[in-house]
Amino acid sequence: MNDSILFIQSQDATNKSMGTGFVVYSDEGGSFVLTCYHVLKSVGEARVDDYEIEVVVQHKIYDLAVLYVKGLCNKKLVLKAISLEGNQDKAVSL
């Protein structure tokens, strides 16, 4: 898997949830990660490997969350807009 894409786990005593997120910015102390709200709120506390996670902001309606993963200093994921033939919409490529 790309170092910018992370596996996020959330669990409590009886349930387990998992999902992915990607690094959008890193500073000297850690990385900001974009993920889905439902990955965090399904069950228990979320983790990325053994790193401590702080929820910076979350939005239930848009199903988005930004995390700060302390100690993880991965490169951000570079997204590139591409045109679709015969369509005015844009797609995103990794």
| Residue boundaries of the structural domains of the chain | 5-93
Phi, psi of 41 (to 5 degrees): -95, -5
Residue found by looking up tokens 């005593």 in the block: 13
| Torsion-angle region of 28 (φ positive above 0: left; ψ -120 to 50: alpha; else: beta) | alpha
Instruction: Give the confidence band of 15 by pLDDT, cuts at 50, 70, 90.
Output: confident
Q: Kindly indicate the confidence band of residue 68, based on its pLDDT and cuts at 50, 70 and 90.
A: very high
| pTM score | 0.79
Q: What CATH number should be reported for the domain whose range is 5-93? A: 2.40.10.120
| pLDDT(62) > 80 | yes
Burial class (CB in 10 A: 0-12, 13-18, 19+), 65: buried
pLDDT at 59: 92
pLDDT tens for each residue of 27-54: 999 999 999 998 887 666 788 888 988 9
